Structure 1
Amino acid sequence: MIGETPGLVTRHPTPFRPDPGRVVTKLFVPGEEIPETRSRAGALIARVLALPESSVESALERVLADFSGRHRQFAAVLERNASIMSHRILDPRSLSARRRLLLGACFTHEYAVEAAALCNPSLVPHPRQDGLAPGRRRVVLSLRGIGEGHLSSIGFATGVLGPGPRTAWEPRTGPVTTGERQRDSWSRDWLRAALAHEGCDNEITATVISTLPNPFDQHDLDRGLSALDSRLLERPGAGDTAQRIRAVTAASYTVGFPGDTDLAQRLLWPISTTESHGMEDARFVHFTADTGETSYRATYTAYDGISVMPRLLESADLTSFSAFALTGPAARNKGMALFPRLVGGRHLALCRGDGETTSLATSPDGRSWSGEVPLRGPKAAWELLQVGNCGSPLETRAGWLVLTHGVCPMRTYAIGALLLDLTDPSRIVGALPDPLLVPDDDEREGSCPTSSTPAAG
């Protein structure tokens, strides 16, 4: 095993382990567990309707006793899933309230969001810093949970650092919630760039965009698509173009959480088709604009089962989160990490477009990325396969400190460090010749699933 640099890293005794008890509810339609199979919903509903009221009451009591404490507003979840499936009932209003809840329970199941692993943390200051003694700071740790079927989501933990190397982490308790999708609104310029990024730039997209207000919502988009001239719609591929416009906007969304939930109870769950197989490797940063205004931003990898796409999360206070597609030639592959402020009037990010080299990209607005400049490729023995970043750069008086990860033979990961120039981060000031940290023997045991996406890491 390649040795690490001694004396520069403190290993803390507190581990973050995957908790199979962290579960969320999902809609379940029997017979559709595998795509393109026959739904058995009609027969199931008929059996529920045929039950005598006494059986309904006893079955529902068991469900509520077993699951109410595991989920926030559990009865409302059952009611919602019953409403989704009530289109198969001639007169849904004829059902008693208790039978509706039992019907909803038949179309609901639990999903363990950390059944396989917990990994890929990133650390930012907590929105609240009140009530702390000098030398202490409250922080938020984002965590990638890998659940059943290798589906990834983004969760959180909170704690207090300091004084010195001390850490105190809060228990991750209470029911987990995925929040609610908010009313969507989009920028017309962003839509134009997102469609061009996907190679969808034609007369239909140009016509629709020209009719949209700025910003626009779903109603505006529906109106623009329905007003298209029939002669444009007769052109080859017109239907596919309209579908892609809808898909691009649907993939950019905002989700909000109740203010009375703890951060550790909030879960960013895949919503759009672009991330249907997972939201992976979020790298959060507390971003400060030139105006002094601060916000939380994170890049993450969306995986649809075939391809990966870097995406952006934005949040003012970690209560609501807006997700967007990133565009431009440098917005590809995995592992983008944002700088915490503008440098030379530009947004900067570390990236890895070729899958193995740490590079630097620039953007005028934080969403469209280009100008990729290689910084460091695989060269040392501990990074022969690929190198990447471990998160956003840290600003120090000496320069931008970048923790890196290298992958060596047997896909063993090690952590190293680069120092970039403060005013010109494309220039490397220094690099550690040996890794800061390598796995101990016990850190190589247990469930360590590799990513389901290409260019893992």
Structure 2
Amino acid sequence: MLLKCNRKLRVKRKPNTIVGDASRVITSPHFPGSSRRKNLIVKRICGLSKEESKKLLKRIMKDFSWRHEDLNFIFNRHFNLIEGCISKEIVLSDTQKSLIGAYFTKEYAIESAALFNPSIVPHPIQDHLEKGSLRFVMSLRATGEGHISSIVFRSGVLNRYNTFRFDPVSEFVETPVLKVNPSYKRKIFQHKLKEMNADNDICSYILNELPEVFRKQQLITQMNTLRNHPHFSKSKQDRAFEIIHWLSDSNYEVAFHSDHRISERVIFPVSKNESRGIEDARFVQFFDDNGNSTYYATYTAYNGFAILPQLIETKDFISFKITMLNGKAAQNKGLALFPKKINGQFTMLSRQDGENNHIMFSKHLHFWGTSKVIQTPEYPWEFIQIGNCGSPIETSEGWIVLTHGVGPMRQYCIGAMLLDLENPCKVIARLEQPLLTPTEKEREGYVPNVVYSCGSILHSNELVIPYAMSDINSGIATIKVKTLIQHMRKTIYGNKFRGHKR
């Protein structure tokens, strides 16, 4: 029996609320001012007596070592970053080196401002579970001082009734080890340089001396060779070098300790193009033609002036590879990858124009040339703009896509549409009313009147939707897939669809 069009669609909100914890801090280098000022700070530290130095370091370790797992390592790492500014005539003791490292270190509370825009995927390890349960990984956008965003993780188990049990959250947080000599594919690298308007002659001159897969150090060596024996004007070479460095720094690899909890891992901005934040990661478990899975996530890199879509790749949530997305269609925010190829091609939802929902296809994961509009704002609650709320979810009826719509007073609501399984350019059905609208308790926050998600999961015949509440905290909602689809209005493409008619 089909439901009537005017019957209210009820979504079950879970009692779980995911809030930030200001006590979870990472360390980062703290370099106040010029080289002159750094040397003055070092000079003041060296002016302390041996006893004063030991007493001061002992107090620092007492005050901060319980907040970080290896403070000595952190101080040593940050001393190494500043060592080049220190006169070689100064002989430093181990205590002085640690003190210098401490003075050039700061804490950053990654979740102190907000914890929002979640996505959820199955955990790569699914053993030792009760029947009907699913272990999950949830990613969230964490923001702290200066509204700098990073990616943090939570894990837990959904039982067969979709009751959430989160794993304990570690009091420690760690940033990953940056791989110092990552590899690049020459063809992809050269294509992106062309897209970035780098001098083609100079780039070709450098890259033609490199193998098809080359290391960063090989690239730097070739640039240094050209710098020492120039074949082009200095100004053109310097400009090309700047772009090449910018691109190579935007493609990197990081790794965490495998024996640490997933909640200890935070992907914090590394490259210049994401210096002001890593925003709205949309994770998806992608299956290739052989049935092997890889986790991908698209995210928005922000440097304070411009945004750039990037791609994360991981098999285990321990090692991550970050690369740039290329092509005219890889623009704007909100890219969401389908969990498998369709008709032999990678498929992605996007929002190039900041207003409509687009779809695009590519034979190469990193190149996206064109897109097509598949949905425009139709109802009052989405008149300003629409976009996706994460990767599509496959069902027997079609691809379920959660959408977001922006209406009066910049209120964000979550809606849904259904795409044809074989031809996802066809919207075969959609909701006329929002699936989730901010309640009174959800509408207060950093950005009021907003509910938003970056990815859901299908489990026990229900759609499990983690969602942000006014860009400050996150909640969870569920709805039966059958109920959701029955409430959808079919479109001109939906003649075979079993939902209700308008």
After TM superposition, the score normalised by the length of structure 2 is 0.85
C-alpha distance in structure 1 between counterparts of 2:342 and 2:414, whole Å: 26
1:11 to 5, 10, 13: 13
Deviation sequence 1:136-161 (CA, Å, 0-9, x none): 00000000011110111111011111
C-alpha distance in structure 2 between counterparts of 1:117 and 1:24, whole Å: 16
Structure with more relative contact order (C-alpha pairs < 8 Å, separation 6 or more): 2
Within 5 A, what are the aligned runs for 1:304-343?
304-343=303-342
Aligned to 2:486: none
Deviation sequence 1:318-372 (CA, Å, 0-9, x none): 1011111100111000000000000000000000000111110111111101230
Aligned to 1:105: 102
C-alpha distance in structure 1 between counterparts of 2:60 and 2:226, whole Å: 50
| Residue 175 of structure 1, CA deviation | 1.1
Residues 1:119 and 2:116 are matched in the alignment? yes
Aligned to 2:265: 266
C-alpha distance in structure 2 between counterparts of 1:421 and 1:292, whole Å: 22
Long gaps (5+) in structure 2: 1-5, 451-469, 472-502
Deviation sequence 1:398-449 (CA, Å, 0-9, x none): 1100001111111111000010000000000100000001011011113338
| Residue 89 of structure 1, CA deviation | 3.5
Deviates more, 1:77-86 or 1:320-329: 77-86
Aligned to 2:131: 134
Contact 2:399 2:424 in 1 (8 A): yes
| Residue 292 of structure 1, CA deviation | 1.6
Contact 1:389 1:404 in 2 (8 A): yes
| Residue 19 of structure 1, CA deviation | 1.4
Aligned to 2:23: 21
CA 1:243–1:46: 2 relative to 1, 3 Å:
same
Deviation sequence 1:44-83 (CA, Å, 0-9, x none): 1111111112221221122111211211311100111122
| Residue 179 of structure 1, CA deviation | 0.7
Within 5 A, what are the aligned runs for 1:190-339?
190-200=188-198, 202-228=200-226, 232-234=231-233, 237-339=236-338
SS at match of 1:362: strand
Within 5 A, what are the aligned runs for 1:52-201?
52-91=49-88, 94-182=91-179, 183-200=181-198
Which amino acid counterpart does residue 204 of structure 1 have in structure 2? I
Which amino acid counterpart does residue 343 of structure 1 have in structure 2? I
Contact 1:5 1:437 in 2 (8 A): no
SS at match of 2:119: strand
Long gaps (5+) in structure 1: none
Which amino acid counterpart does residue 223 of structure 1 have in structure 2? T
Contact 1:29 1:39 in 2 (8 A): no
CA 1:240–1:341: 2 relative to 1, 3 Å:
same
The percentage of counterpart residues that share the same residue type is 38
C-alpha distance in structure 2 between counterparts of 1:210 and 1:87, whole Å: 34
C-alpha distance in structure 2 between counterparts of 1:450 and 1:205, whole Å: 48
CA 1:331–1:186: 2 relative to 1, 3 Å:
same
Within 5 A, what are the aligned runs for 1:386-401?
386-401=385-400
C-alpha distance in structure 2 between counterparts of 1:231 and 1:58, whole Å: 54
Contact 1:283 1:337 in 2 (8 A): yes
Which amino acid counterpart does residue 262 of structure 1 have in structure 2? R
| Residue 88 of structure 1, CA deviation | 3.8
When the two chains are superposed, the root-mean-square deviation of aligned CA atoms in Å is: 2.1
C-alpha distance in structure 2 between counterparts of 1:362 and 1:201, whole Å: 29
- Number of residues of Structure 1 aligned to a counterpart in Structure 2: 445
Which amino acid counterpart does residue 41 of structure 1 have in structure 2? K
C-alpha distance in structure 2 between counterparts of 1:420 and 1:82, whole Å: 55
Contact 1:233 1:239 in 2 (8 A): no
Which amino acid counterpart does residue 388 of structure 1 have in structure 2? G
SS at match of 2:21: coil
C-alpha distance in structure 2 between counterparts of 1:222 and 1:255, whole Å: 20
Residues 1:43 and 2:40 are matched in the alignment? yes
C-alpha distance in structure 2 between counterparts of 1:81 and 1:93, whole Å: 18
After TM superposition, the score normalised by the length of structure 1 is 0.93
C-alpha distance in structure 2 between counterparts of 1:149 and 1:223, whole Å: 37
| Residue 223 of structure 1, CA deviation | 3.0
CA 1:270–1:92: 2 relative to 1, 3 Å:
farther
SS at match of 2:208: helix
C-alpha distance in structure 2 between counterparts of 1:416 and 1:39, whole Å: 56
C-alpha distance in structure 2 between counterparts of 1:120 and 1:336, whole Å: 14
Aligned to 2:382: 383
Contact 1:179 1:255 in 2 (8 A): yes
| Residue 17 of structure 1, CA deviation | 0.9
C-alpha distance in structure 1 between counterparts of 2:24 and 2:8, whole Å: 37
C-alpha distance in structure 2 between counterparts of 1:427 and 1:252, whole Å: 35
C-alpha distance in structure 1 between counterparts of 2:208 and 2:7, whole Å: 58
C-alpha distance in structure 2 between counterparts of 1:158 and 1:39, whole Å: 46
C-alpha distance in structure 2 between counterparts of 1:412 and 1:54, whole Å: 61
SS at match of 1:149: helix
| Residue 380 of structure 1, CA deviation | 0.9
| Residue 280 of structure 1, CA deviation | 0.4
